[in-house]
Amino acid sequence: MTSSITLSAQHLTRHHGKLCVVDDVSLELRRGEVLGLLGHNGAGKSTTLQMLAGALPPGSGHIDICDFDLARQAGLAKACIGFLPEHPPLYRDMRVDDYLLFAARLHHVPEKHLAEYLALAKQRCGLSDCGQKLIGTLSKGYQQRTGIAQAIIHQPPVVILDEPTVGLDPAQIRDIRALIRALGDSSSVILSTHLLHEVENICDRAVILQQGKVIFSGSIEELRRHSDIESSFIRLTAAQPEEIQP
């Protein structure tokens, strides 16, 4: 726990049948850093994040979370992760409070801290008034917030968010981005998105995936250095000759 690297993934690969979805991806995440995983649809972002969160076993490669091996010390490593998948894993027939407490207990939050953690997570995600509501009756934006609250309630050192701002209105997007920035102060955050300006606004570093391969990895400044960020993204992703841009 002393090292400043909270998440380290080496040479991850994953095949779906014959198709190689993730090809030799290596990532590192430091404490207090927000990393943006950028790429087109189908570039392998979600698959990569699922492997990092321990939902999918990698075909090959090695993942360390807070110095715990995700394959061998799964329990210890997973306790350090908060994960929001692409589709928030919500039980529609539960109340928000019950659901968040359930998520907290699953992640070994001690009974005496439950109320405090619950209040903090709800406050950070703007859910303070929704505790008694059924999740199924919430709007898409509030469901997404509940999903994020579930990922951060146990105050994990590593937070993995798969497209956290999808389906939110502009004001909510602003709130969530502020929240992610704030999370970046205490934890490390890795998030995926296909929106460039999102990465530019909230991330310290960016990794661009294209057909399962890392084609760019560096700070936002480096990405910016190739003139304007938008054109550099397009230039980078268009560099692959076999890629046919629609």
The residue ranges that bind another protein (CB under 8 A) are 50, 53-58, 71, 74-79, 81, 83, 85, 87, 89-94, 98, 102-103, 105-108, 150
Q: Which is nearer to another protein, 74 or 234 (CB)?
A: 74
Cα torsion angle, 224, 230, 236, 54, sign: positive
What lies within 8 Å, CB to CB, of 40 at 6+ separation is 194, 210, 237
Amino acid at 195: L
Structure letter (DSSP) for residue 208: E
Q: Which is nearer to another protein, 20 or 56 (CB)?
A: 56
At closest approach, how far in Å is the CB of 106 from another protein? 4
Q: Which is nearer to another protein, 121 or 206 (CB)?
A: 121
At closest approach, how far in Å is the CB of 12 from another protein? 13
At closest approach, how far in Å is the CB of 238 from another protein? 33
What lies within 8 Å, CB to CB, of 184 at 6+ separation is 32, 33, 34, 202, 204
At closest approach, how far in Å is the CB of 14 from another protein? 11
Instruction: Give dist(CA 224, CA 195) in Å, integer.
Output: 15
Q: Which is nearer to another protein, 91 or 238 (CB)?
A: 91
